[in-house]
Amino acid sequence: MWKHIAANALTFLIVAMFLFGGVIVWGTNEYSAEGPLDQAICLQVTPGSNMRIVSESLAEQDAISSPSIFRMGVDYSGKASALKAGSFLVPEGASMSEIVDIVTQGGQSTCGTEIVYRVGVTRVVAQVRELDPATGRFVELASFEPSEVEETPAEYTETREANDTQYRVVISEGVTSWQIVQALNSLEFMDGSVSEIPAEGMLAPNSYQVRPGDSVAELLTDMEAAQARILATAWAERADGLPLASPEEALILASIIEKEASTSDERFDVASVFVNRLNQGMRLQTDPTVIYGVTQGQGVLGRGLRQSELRAENPWNTYVISGLPATPIANPGADTIRAALNPADTDFIFFVAKTLNPRDGHNFAVTLDEHNANVAIYRELEAARAASEGN
């Protein structure tokens, strides 16, 4: 009898092990299989949340088939403690495994409602926008210039009061360090105020995600570190034979190119003009350096240059001095720094705007006669506009 009982017990154990193994295989496949979500969603993970709360939220939104399998998969992968707070875009059909990666690997939110402060060369714009998960595109809810309005839009106020609002500061290429500091100091949700202006050119234009209470000084430090990395990499990958003695000189040249290039495509040609002029011992003769000598980077000149300013002796006026100006004249972007250190192979030493619209780019020339012809075309366009405005 005991042999019979033992045999039955062994059989039961074998069957149980087989069934258990089948459950594990099924659960593993379910964890990695395409999920039931038929349209992308924005998953909110609040600070202090955990994987149980996240799994229940996902189940309520029909993004996963089983909260239990989701949590077991998280535990098995060892990622339970890596959950990040934020708003995360979960694409349609995402598997449980992919969702876990989304909420544990990302350092920044990828969807939701955000307030974006765009620091441009001529103005600062506050924008309220929300990502539409279905299309993957942001929908603008409000846009305004903080310095130009007496009362902020209701959409901005409501978004500022929401707990899950994200904040982003976008620095445009060609903005000066003074402009950046002034803009950051004016942001009501950031902590502290900075009086010392970082070195011109050493703040990387980019998009920076920030949080209420973040320090202005720390954000500037991050920008400086980013620019230092960009410059070091570009310098290490520079072309041979450049008339630049140091990364600092490369940054100065890049800042001039940033101010002169009208389109991203012509950065390398503009770079070639200035490199060719430096190699030939010609003065750079570029207006943005004169403007910087007048404003010291503190705002926009807002008018044409005077003859007295073109003749003024200062460390930035490249109509008067030879070689590069004393410092950068703005903060150039990464692509422009790379262009300065890898210019196009041309013989160009002149350029002038093609049309009255700066976005149309420039006409480049090798000889003075070619350049004068291009200038004559531009002057005709100016005269035509003046005549039409006079009528």
pLDDT tens, residue by residue, 373-386: 999 999 988 888 88
Residue 16: is its pLDDT beyond 50? no
pLDDT tens, residue by residue, 87-108: 888 888 888 888 888 888 866 6
Q: Are 77 and 105 in contact (CB under 8 A)?
A: no
- Residue 241's pLDDT band, with cuts at 50, 70 and 90, is very high
Output the pLDDT for position 10: 46
pLDDT tens, residue by residue, 138-148: 889 999 998 88
Q: Which domains does the chain have, with CATH numbers?
A: 28-105 (3.30.1490.480), 113-231 (no CATH), 238-390 (no CATH)
- For residue 121, the SS3 value is coil
Q: Are 127 and 116 in contact (CB under 8 A)?
A: yes
- Residue 112's pLDDT band, with cuts at 50, 70 and 90, is confident
Output the pLDDT for position 118: 96
For the segment 321-326, the average pLDDT, to the nearest whole number, is 96
Residues of the chain with pLDDT > 70: what percent?
Answer: 92
Residue 19: is its pLDDT beyond 70? no
Kindly list the distances between the CA atom of residue 308 and the CA atoms of 144, 243, 312, 313, 315, in Å, as whole numbers in the listed order.
37, 30, 6, 10, 15
Output the pLDDT for position 36: 86
Output the pLDDT for position 343: 97
Residue 191: is its pLDDT beyond 60? yes
- For residue 202, the SS3 value is coil
Output the pLDDT for position 386: 83
> What backbone torsions phi and psi does residue 24 show, to the nearest 5 degrees?
-60, -45
Residue 245: is its pLDDT beyond 70? yes
Residue 17: is its pLDDT beyond 60? no
- Residue 15's pLDDT band, with cuts at 50, 70 and 90, is very low
Output the pLDDT for position 107: 62
How many Cβ atoms sit within 10 Å of the Cβ of residue 274?
A: 26
Average pLDDT value for the chain: 87
Is pLDDT larger for residue 130 or for residue 47? Answer: 130
Output the pLDDT for position 26: 53
- Residue 13's pLDDT band, with cuts at 50, 70 and 90, is very low
Q: Are 108 and 85 in contact (CB under 8 A)?
A: no
Residues of the chain with pLDDT > 90: what percent?
Answer: 52
- Give the tokens for residue 227: 């620019």
Residue 23: is its pLDDT beyond 80? no
The answer to which of 7-16, 44-53, 131-140, 327-336 has the lowest mean pLDDT is 7-16
Residue 173: is its pLDDT beyond 70? yes
Q: Distance between CA atoms of 151 and 134, rounded to whole angstroms?
A: 33
- Element housing 374 (H / E): helix 368-390
For the segment 98-121, the average pLDDT, to the nearest whole number, is 84
Q: Characterize 358-385 residue by residue with b for buried, 16 or more Cβ atoms within 10 angstroms of its Cβ, and e for exposed.
A: eeebbbbbeeeeebeebbeebeeeeeee
Q: Distance between CA atoms of 257 and 318, rounded to whole angstroms?
A: 14
Residue 3: is its pLDDT beyond 70? no
Output the pLDDT for position 20: 45
Is pLDDT larger for residue 139 or for residue 246? Answer: 246
